[in-house]
C-alpha cells in the first residue's frame, strides 16, 4: 500500500506525462489498488479514464472496461495506442469474426479490454474471461445502468451476475453525472451496497440559464434566427424528434448566412455521424441540430450555447446536455425554449417506452401455449412477430422472464405458481417505471415554470451545495441576452496551431491532447 502511494506520481509521469493528479483521481486509484469497490462521480474533462488506466498499467491481471458506445471504445483505444500502450483492445461487432476469435484466444496477452454489456453476455467470451485473472472491472458512463438498463439495454442489469462469475474482481463505476437516486440505483444494480463513494460536484459556475416561453414552433425558429444573428459561436440545439432536428437544420441553413449547420441523430449512418462530429470538433460546423444521441464522448471545449428546442425527459438529461457548454470555463449559456404543448412528445415517448398490460397478457398466453406442446420449443425471435412486439419491448420481457426463471437457456420452464408471481411482479415493474418516468417529466415541467433561481432549482436536489455563478446567473435572476458577451471563436487558432497538434487532432477521433 505505502509502496503504491509513494510511486503513483512517478507512474503518472511515466505513463501519462502529467506531474500531478487532478481532483479525485489519486483517491480513487488508491482505493482501487487496495481492492475496494468505488463509485466515482467526477466532472467531465477531469480525466476519469486515468482512474483505471493507471491501475491497469501497473497491476498484474486484466482490466475490463464496459463502455456504452463503440465509438467511445475506439477513441480510447486509439489514444492509448498513441501513447505506446499496446496491450489494449476494443472487442465489438466492428471486428471480423476471425479477428475476434484471435483476440479471444490471446486474452491473456492484454491488460485492458473495452467491451459492450451485450457482448459480455456471450458465453464464448465469458468462458475465456473466466480462465484468466480479471483484476479490475470498470463500468464507464455508469449512469447508463440506471438510464438505459431498465428498459432500453437490459444487459446493463446483468453486469452484477457477470462480476460474480468472474470471481468478484474489484469494481469501479465511473460517471460524470449521477444524482443520489441514480447513484443508489447503480449500486443496487451492481449488488454492491458497500461501494466507496467518491462524489465531486457537477454544477457549472460558468453557465448561465435562460428560459423563454413562446407560443409555437414558428416562434422558436424566429428566436433561433435572432440569437444566431447576434452571436457567432459554436452551438448545439437539442430536439426530441429526429425529423424536427433535420427540418430545423435545413431552415437554419436557408435563413442564416455564413453559418454552417448540420443535423445529427441515431438514425444516421455511422460514417455520417463520425463525419459530422469531426467537423464540429474542428470548427468546420457552427451549429448542430441534434437529438440526445449527440453527446457522450464529445469533448469540445468551446461550445458556448446549448439551446433546447424541446424539453428533455429528465432534469438529469438536461444537466448532462447543458453541461457540454463551456468546458474551457468561459462564459456560456443554456437556453430552453418552451411552449405549453411541449409535454406532448415526452409523454408519448414515456407511454410507449415499455409494453402495456395487453402485451404482458399476450406474452404469457403465447408462452403457456408453447409450453403445453410436448417438446417445449425453445423461445425464438418469432415471438416478436407473432405478438407484434417491438424489439425493445421484447428485450424487456425476455430479461424479466429470464430473471423469474420462466425462460432458461431459451427454453420455457412452466411452473404455475412461479408464473403467477412473475406476472404480478412484471406488471408492477411496468407500472413503477412508468410512474417514475412521469414524475421525472413532471420535475422538468415544474422547473420550466419556476419563478425561482433556475440554477438553484436545477442543482439543489442533486447535491448538498452549489457554487455561485461565475459570470451571470439566470433569467429569473435578471440575466438577459444584452448582458452576454461571449468570447469570439477564432477559427484561425486551428490554422496557426503547431503541426504536431494538428496532426494529433486529425488522428485522434473526438479528442484533443487531453486523456479523458
Partner DNA sequence: TTAGGGTTAGGGTTAGGGTTAGAGCCGGTGCCCTGCT
By CB atoms closer than 10 A (0-12, 13-18, 19+), residue 273 is middle
Pairing outcome for strands 62-66 and 112-115: parallel
Nearer to DNA, 153 or 304 (CB): 153
Nearer to DNA, 346 or 486 (CB): 346
Q: How far is the CB of 119 from DNA (least distance, A)?
A: 3
Nearer to DNA, 197 or 348 (CB): 348
Nearer to DNA, 198 or 265 (CB): 265
Q: How far is the CB of 26 from DNA (least distance, A)?
A: 31
CB 128 within 8 A of CB 104: yes
CB 510 within 8 A of CB 280: no
CB atoms within 10 A of CB 24: 20
| Helix extents (H) in 231-281 | 242-255, 270-281
Nearer to DNA, 390 or 410 (CB): 390
CB atoms within 10 A of CB 428: 10
Q: Residue 333 — φ and ψ, nearest 5°?
A: -135, 140
Q: How far is the CB of 14 from DNA (least distance, A)?
A: 30
Q: How far is the CB of 85 from DNA (least distance, A)?
A: 20
Alpha-carbon distance 388 to 403, whole Å?
22
Nearer to DNA, 86 or 348 (CB): 348
Pairing outcome for strands 196-199 and 287-290: unpaired
Nearer to DNA, 152 or 414 (CB): 152
Q: How far is the CB of 451 from DNA (least distance, A)?
A: 25
Residues that bind DNA (CB under 7 A): 68-71, 92-93, 98, 115-116, 118-119, 122, 147-148, 151-153, 216-218, 240-243, 265-267, 271, 291-293, 313, 341, 344-345, 348-349, 352-353, 381, 384-385, 388-392, 394-395
Pairing outcome for strands 62-66 and 134-139: parallel
String of b and e for 150-182 (b: at least 16 CB within 10 Å)?
Answer: bbebbbbbbbeebbeebeebbbbbbbbbbbeeb
Q: How far is the CB of 214 from DNA (least distance, A)?
A: 11
Q: How far is the CB of 453 from DNA (least distance, A)?
A: 27
Amino acid at each position: 500500500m505505502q509502496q503504491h502511494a509513494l510511486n503513483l506520481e512517478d507512474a503518472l509521469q511515466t505513463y501519462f506525462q502529467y506531474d500531478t493528479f487532478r481532483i479525485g483521481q489519486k483517491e480513487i486509484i488508491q482505493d482501487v489498488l487496495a481492492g475496494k469497490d468505488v463509485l466515482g462521480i467526477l466532472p467531465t474533462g477531469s480525466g476519469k479514464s486515468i482512474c483505471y488506466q493507471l491501475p491497469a498499467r501497473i497491476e498484474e491481471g486484466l482490466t475490463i472496461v464496459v463502455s456504452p458506445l463503440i465509438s467511445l471504445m475506439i477513441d480510447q483505444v486509439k489514444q492509448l495506442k498513441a501513447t505506446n500502450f499496446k496491450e489494449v483492445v476494443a472487442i465489438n461487432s466492428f471486428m471480423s469474426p476471425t479477428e475476434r476469435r484471435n483476440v479471444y484466444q490471446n486474452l491473456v496477452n492484454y491488460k485492458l479490454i473495452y467491451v459492450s454489456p451485450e457482448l459480455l453476455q456471450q458465453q464464448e467470451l465469458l468462458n475465456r474471461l473466466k480462465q484468466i485473472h480479471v483484476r479490475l472491472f470498470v463500468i464507464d458512463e455508469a449512469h447508463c445502468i440506471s438510464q438505459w438498463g431498465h428498459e432500453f439495454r437490459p444487459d446493463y442489469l446483468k453486469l452484477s451476475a457477470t462480476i460474480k462469475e468472474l470471481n468478484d474482481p474489484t469494481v469501479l463505476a465511473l460517471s460524470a453525472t449521477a444524482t443520489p437516486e441514480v447513484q443508489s440505483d447503480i449500486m443496487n444494480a451492481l449488488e454492491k451496497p458497500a461501494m466507496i463513494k467518491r462524489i465531486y460536484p457537477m454544477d457549472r459556475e460558468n453557465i448561465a440559464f435562460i428560459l423563454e416561453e413562446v407560443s409555437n414552433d414558428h416562434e422558436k425558429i424566429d428566436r433561433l434566427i435572432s440569437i444566431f444573428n447576434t452571436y457567432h459561436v459554436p452551438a448545439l440545439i437539442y430536439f426530441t424528434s429526429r425529423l424536427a432536428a433535420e427540418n430545423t437544420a435545413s431552415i437554419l441553413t436557408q435563413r442564416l448566412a455564413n453559418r454552417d449547420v448540420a443535423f445529427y441523430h441515431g438514425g444516421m449512418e455511422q460514417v455520417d455521424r463520425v463525419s459530422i462530429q469531426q467537423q464540429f470538433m474542428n470548427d468546420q460546423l457552427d451549429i448542430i441540430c441534434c437529438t440526445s444521441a449527440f453527446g457522450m464522448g464529445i469533448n469540445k471545449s468551446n461550445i458556448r450555447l446549448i439551446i433546447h428546442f424541446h424539453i428533455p425527459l429528465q432534469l438529469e438529461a438536461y444537466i448532462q446536455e447543458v453541461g457540454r457548454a463551456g468546458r474551457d470555463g468561459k462564459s456560456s449559456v443554456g437556453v430552453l425554449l418552451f411552449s405549453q404543448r411541449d409535454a406532448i412528445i415526452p409523454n408519448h415517448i414515456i407511454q410507449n417506452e415499455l409494453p402495456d398490460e395487453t402485451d404482458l397478457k399476450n406474452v404469457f398466453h403465447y408462452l403457456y401455449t408453447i409450453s403445453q406442446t410436448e417438446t417445449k420449443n425453445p423461445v425464438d425471435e418469432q415471438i416478436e412477430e407473432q405478438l407484434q412486439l417491438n424489439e425493445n419491448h421484447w428485450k424487456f420481457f425476455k430479461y424479466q422472464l429470464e430473471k423469474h426463471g420462466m425462460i432458461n437457456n431459451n427454453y420455457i420452464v412452466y411452473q404455475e405458481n412461479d408464473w403467477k408471481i412473475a406476472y404480478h411482479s412484471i406488471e408492477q415493474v411496468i407500472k413503477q417505471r412508468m410512474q417514475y418516468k412521469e414524475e421525472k417529466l413532471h420535475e422538468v415541467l415544474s422547473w420550466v415554470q419556476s419563478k425561482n433561481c433556475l440554477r438553484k432549482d436545477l442543482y439543489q436536489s442533486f447535491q448538498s451545495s452549489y457554487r455561485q455563478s461565475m459570470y451571470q446567473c439566470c433569467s429569473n435572476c435578471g440575466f438577459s441576452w444584452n448582458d452576454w458577451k461571449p468570447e469570439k471563436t477564432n477559427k484561425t487558432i486551428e490554422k496557426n496551431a503547431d503541426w504536431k497538434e494538428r496532426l494529433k487532432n486529425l488522428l485522434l477521433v473526438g479528442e484533443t491532447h487531453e486523456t479523458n
